[in-house]
Structure 1
């Protein structure tokens, strides 16, 4: 059997500091016979020298486009716009299976080149439980930024840090007023992270999960001052916030942090905004009177790149070591083909058509 050849690519997004495989786990892959190529990347939290010391081959940033055809290209966030034909199997968060903007164009690129998307969001066991996720850190940071914003201590641009330093900023200071907070999706990975951040900040949030969202008490929701959404809907559900809710004069809600950032999807539970926020401007005012501020950053864990990468890599490593055995990866491939069928994309479709 030909050894698995993994190619860890450079991330094109300037604020993406994370990596799906840390140097220690890179060494474990190499020791188990995996061929590993790692692209140079100036923003990656771990320096290229650590990967080289682990036994990986080093390649220039962006050189995956000319990698051998059987290479599996590994990343986290979006691909560059070129090449138009994607010939490799790619493992990353594609955000293309719920009719998000650009989904059809991306899947046509794979179809045109004969490659495939193995989306990390759908890497799951037989019961649908995700096997590798950044959820805890996304929830933690979503709540942390909401606390800092509500207390008037969030500064821009955002910069990567470590958990110890961030926790110091979350501690309640003299004069900080009490406020009410709500975590929706409190029992999942992201919800646990959000609850942890609130606990560090000295805030005891209301916690909602499936039971509460099935029979949504909208008045109670709007009566909280801070809300963190950790729900990633997979089937249509009534939205948690509507445009009419923003005009409600009795609304106490002032800060919303959307960890899920499902903007553009018909399954979005917060259809009150149409674009995410950025590290340079992390907060957008959705409504002036009464005020409502939004935080919606779609790579939150990159603000704690070392901690989040170490956790994610530890969970992804056993899946990569079992890459050729089917199972979860086979289900990923099936989901890719199903997504193409749902969009009417068939073999022979050219990218951009």
Structure 2
């Protein structure tokens, strides 16, 4: 029998993305992969589309009863129960860089004997992720920051098609042409996937954008950074970094900077490049003021930004991911990309004293 992949319902109510789109599910079933897709009240793709693609349908949250050899595929955090995790799970665990809750998650896997094939560590031989939501995270985050800076951000947030986001940004450009005040942004990590999406959104909104990469951060001009209105942090790193911005910087009398869009969201990790806030923001309150100086300083830190464009981001991600699901083995992952992900899991277990 072929590999069994079980696409779970996402327990987070604002998560509308799917790691696998129906059209790619069809390609997998044609090639002998057994697919089960859970019903979900919020997933952007209807369950009927998966059934037509040849997938079996299961109730939401029934993956704990799946056969032991199952790969459980998702995106965001697992629900708290069952505590002991016995399957092989493929999703973004956010547990390897010292994030709060990381060690607790790893203990759940050791308790049940399961394994985490973290999608963040499913990389090719050049250490590049085989699939990523980065572009869409950068695009959505920068769009929100631009709308907020111009006083046009409506809350609570709702998902939209990209055409609707583009129209909103075009409206900002048109209004900005008649404004006396120029809004300027700096994107750090501008050449990566996140940074590329952020720059495209900001420039569409008519916001003058400075693009920084490794040379600029290695010799940081802090006064120049503080002279912008918006900072988009799109740095991706697995090693501790020197902060781009500290709480002391917020008291700088020359500061013009008023908005931080932290796409990376490494809150609580030694890899955090912008340690100026203590909790993530939400779809109900996407931007939170953290300093009452002149100007006031606000933070936008949503950890599921691509779900604001669930259709486009899911289809793009699924297109990159599905061929690699063909390389999963019935007795465990055998392809190099998945072996690297398992290695990262085992190294993290050992680092936390659980291996």
Give 1:326's aligned residue.
335
Count of residues paired in the alignment: 345
Match of 1:128 in 2: 127
Q: Deviations over 1:214-273 (max 9, x none)?
A: 111111100111111100222122101101001111100011100001101111001111
Post-superposition Cα deviations, 1:122-181, rounded to whole Å, max 9, x if no partner, equal 110112111110000000011100100000000110000011111111112334442111
The normalised TM-score by structure 1 is 0.96
Cα distance in 2 for residues equivalent to 1:84 and 1:12: 15
Structure 2 match to 1:349: none
Counterparts of 1:238 and 1:327, CA distance in 2: 32
- Mapping of 1:30-69 within 5 angstroms? 30-69=29-68
Q: Contact 1:255–1:293 (CA<8 Å) still a contact in 2?
A: yes
1:302 and 2:291 correspond: no
Counterpart of 1:107 in structure 2 is: 106
| Aligned-partner Cα distance in 2 for 1:233–1:17 | 27
In structure 2, C-alpha distance between the alignment counterparts of 1:45 and 1:327, rounded to whole Å: 31
Residues 1:254 and 2:254 aligned together: no
- Structure 1 residue runs without a partner (length 5+): 347-353
Q: 1:302-330 deviations in whole A, cap 9, x for unaligned?
A: 00000000000000011111223421001
Q: Which residue of 2 aligns with 1:173?
A: 174
Contact 2:183 2:208 in 1 (8 A): no
Is this contact kept in 2: 1:29–1:321, CA < 8 A?
yes
Let me know the Cα RMSD of the aligned residues. 0.9
What SS class does the counterpart of residue 144 from structure 1 fall into?
helix
Deviation at 1:204, TM superposition (A): 3.0
Query: Where does residue 199 of structure 2 map in the other structure?
Result: 195
**1:77 alignment partner in structure 2:** 76
C-alpha contact 2:90 2:118 (8 A) present in aligned 1? yes
CA contact (8 A) 1:233 1:269 kept: no
Q: Does 1:237 align with 2:246?
A: no
The answer to whether structure 1 residue 118 and structure 2 residue 117 are counterparts is yes
Can you give the 5+ residue segments of structure 2 that lack an aligned partner in the other structure?
none
Distance 1:274 1:292 in 2: 14
> Which runs of 4 or more aligned residues in structure 1 lie more than 4 Å from their structure 2 counterparts after TM superposition?
none
